[in-house]
Amino acid sequence: MCGRRALIAALIVLFGVVGARAGSERAAHKFSPEGLAKVSDYIRNEIATGKIPGAILLLQQHGKPVYYENFGVRDVATEISMSADTIFRLYSMSKPITSVMAMMLVEEGKLSLDDPVSKYIPAFAKMKVGVETKAEDGKVALVLEAPNRPVTIKDLLRHTSGLPYGYHGGGIVRELYAEANLFQSNLSNADFVAKITTLPLVEQPGTAWDYGFSTDVLGRVVEVASGKTLLQFEKERLLDPLGMTETAFFVADPAKFPRVAEPMPEDRNINPTTPVRDSRRPSKWESGGGGMVGTIGDYAHFAQMLLNGGLYEGRRYLKPETIALMASDHIGPETKIARDQNYYPGDSSGFGLGFAVRISVPPGTAWPLGEYRWDGVGGTFFFIDPEDDLFGIFMVQTPSQRGRIQLALKTLIYQAMGR
C-alpha cells in the first residue's frame, strides 16, 4: 500500500495537477477498489489474449490521480515496457485542441461563430453542393447546386459543414474525397484546404452532422486569423504554457523514436487503404483534425484545464462560459440537424463545439449528463465528467479494437463509481 501511495504522489508531480473546485467533492461519486480492480483485470486480459501490446489508463478526480497504471509494452517488437513518457498517435483527439484554439480567437474577437469560412478562405465562396440524381435509364449523376447559406465557423466546429471523410461505397461525393487521397497528400494546411475547395460539399451546410475534414479546415482558419502556423499558435498559447512539451505533429527527435507506441503487427491499418501514420516521419501537414502525437501526461494537463473551466495553475486559457458553450449540444432537435449513418457520438449524445456531449442516460446505467469526450481512430480516448469532477484518459494503439474496448472500459469505470 505504501508503494501505491508513493506512486500516486509521484504522479501528482508528473501531471502537474491542480486542486478541485470548491464544493465538488461533496456531490461526486467515489470509486470502489473492487471496481477499479475489474478495470485493471480487463486491460490485462486484452494484453494476455494478444489484442493489444499495452496501454495506459489515468483517472483523475478532484485534481489528483485516483487511478493510474501502465500495462504491457509499447511495441511487441521491442518489448519495452509501457511508461508515462510513451508517445501515442492522438488522431482525432487533436480535434478538441484545434477547437480550443479557435475559441481563443473567438474570445479575442478575431473570429465569430457566425462568420462565413469564406471570410478567411475566399475559395469557400465558390464551393457547391453535390446532389446525386437518377436518370430514367437508372444512371446516377452528380448535379452541383449552390449552397443555401455559407459554411460558417460554427459548422466547422460541430461537423455540419458538408465536408465529409472520403470512403468507397458512400456515394459519389465521398468517392471523390476518397480519390483525392487527402490523408496521404502531406500538403501545407493552405494547400490542403485549396484542394478541399475543388471538391463539392456532400450536403447543404447546417443540415446534417457529417464527420469529416471540418476541423482540418478550422486549423487553416486559425492560421489565417492568428497570422501564425497552427503549431506556432498552439505552442505559444496552449502547449508551452500548459507544459505539453511532447505534443506535436510528428516526433522530430530520433532519440525519442523508441518511445513511440505501436499497434500489434496485424493491426496497423485504419482502413483497407490507409495504414497507421508513421509518426517518426516529418510531416508538412499540420492536421488539426487528426495529426497530433503526445503523451498521457500532456493530455492530462489539457483535460484538467477543460475540467477547471479554462483555468490551469493560475493561468486562464478560456472563460468558463466558453467551455460551457463548447460542452453544450449544438445539434439538438430544435436545429433540425440530421445525423449521418455513422453517428459516432451514439444515441445518448449530441455534439458541441469540438466534443460529443451526453444528453441522455444510456439504458441500464446512471452515467452523468453533461459528460463530454472524444477519441482517436488509433484507439485513444478521453472523457470529462464535470458532475464527478473527473476526467479519464486511455492511451492505446489499436485501430481495430478501439470501439469495443472503449465501451467496455467506460462501462467498467462507471460501474466502479456505482453508476
> Measured between alpha carbons, how far is 24 from 386 in angstroms, rounded to an integer?
9
Check pLDDT > 70 for residue 161. yes
Query: Across all residues in the chain, what is the average pLDDT?
Result: 93
pLDDT(3) > 60: no
pTM listed for this prediction: 0.94
Whether 82 shows a pLDDT value over 80: the answer reads yes
122 Cβ partners below 8 Å, 6+ apart? none
The string of pLDDT tens digits covering residues 199-239 is 999 999 999 999 999 999 999 999 999 999 999 999 999 99
pLDDT at position 50 is 98
Inform me whether the pLDDT recorded for 20 exceeds 80. no
Element (H, E) at 381: strand 381-385
- Please name the amino acid found at residue 209: W
Question: Which pLDDT score is estimated for 252?
Answer: 96
- Mean pLDDT along residues 350-368: 97
**How many CA within 13 A on the CB side of residue 297?**
17
Q: What is the mean pLDDT of residues 379-391?
A: 98
Q: What is the DSSP code string of 94-110?
A: HHHHHHHHHHHHHHTTS
Residue range 23-58, pLDDT digits in tens: 344 578 999 999 999 999 999 999 999 999 999 999
Residue 17: its pLDDT value, please? 46
Burial 386-412 (b: 16+ CB within 10 A, else e): bbbbbbbbbbbbbbbbbeebbeebbbb
Tell whether the model's pLDDT for residue 180 goes beyond 70.
yes
Q: Are 183 and 223 in contact (CB under 8 A)?
A: no
Predicted confidence band of residue 9 (pLDDT cuts 50, 70, 90): very low
Q: Would you state the pLDDT for residue 113?
A: 98
Contacts of 207 (CB under 8 A, 6+ apart): 160, 162, 336, 337, 338
Stated as kind and residue range, the H or E segment containing 83 is: none
Query: Can you spell out the DSSP letters for 299-362?
Result: HHHHHHHHHTTSEETTEESS-HHHHHHHTS-SS-GGGT-EE-TT-TT-TTEEE-SSSEEE-SPP
- Give CB contacts under 8 A, 24+ apart, made by 367-375: 367/414, 367/419, 368/419, 370/327, 372/326, 372/327, 374/92, 374/93, 374/95, 374/96, 375/92, 375/93, 375/402, 375/406
Confidence of residue 16 (pLDDT cuts 50, 70, 90): low
**What is the number of other CB atoms lying within 10 angstroms of the CB of residue 253?**
9
Q: What is the pLDDT of residue 237?
A: 98
Residue 14 binned pLDDT confidence (cut-offs 50, 70, 90): low
Each residue's pLDDT tens digit, 249-303: 999 999 999 999 999 999 999 988 788 999 999 999 999 999 999 999 999 999 9
